[in-house]
């Protein structure tokens, strides 16, 4: 887990604003959170991969997704090396932030209350993800 804040320059941020929708930018680049229950990915049950909506890096396999009851797409494990974490002390609490290992976009948070085999819950903002069905 890294404790170093993610920094980018103004030119990078202009490129992200051009590439992402306003809601994606708010979540991925400004560490926002979408409303619980807002993402259609909560109901996605097909085989496939969940990619970073900013840079298209594969992050989670569909066989690690489960219904957490939280209102956000949840996974018990990422693809190895796909995500990074750092401590988040915003909102007067201590949480573990999850971001894309490639573009550093904010994805959501990691909690220690998930199912086995990991006991972890990667609680992701659906707007941070794109689903790619198996085979295409």
Active site residues: 123
DSSP state of 125: -
Query: Tokens 């401590």 correspond to what residue?
Result: 87
- Quote the radius of gyration of the chain (alpha carbons, Å): 14
d(CA 109, CA 128): 12
Among residues 115, 79, 86, 59, the alpha carbon closest in space to that of 4 is found at 86
Question: How far lies 24's CA from each of 21, 70, 98, 118, 127, in Å?
Answer: 5, 20, 15, 28, 6
């Amino acid at each position: 887990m890294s404790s170093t804040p993610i920094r980018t320059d103004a030119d990078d941020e202009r490129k992200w604003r051009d590439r992402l929708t306003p809601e994606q930018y708010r979540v991925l680049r400004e560490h926002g959170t979408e409303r619980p229950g807002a993402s259609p990915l909560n109901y996605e049950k097909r085989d496939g991969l969940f990619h970073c909506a900013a840079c298209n890096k594969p992050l989670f396999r569909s066989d690690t997704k489960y219904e957490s009851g939280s209102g956000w797409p949840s996974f018990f494990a990422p693809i190895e090396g796909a995500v990074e974490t750092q401590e988040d002390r915003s909102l007067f609490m201590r949480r573990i932030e999850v971001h894309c290992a490639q573009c550093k976009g904010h994805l959501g948070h990691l909690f220690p209350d998930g199912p086995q085999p990991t006991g972890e819950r990667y609680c992701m903002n659906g707007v941070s993800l794109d689903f790619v069905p198996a085979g295409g």
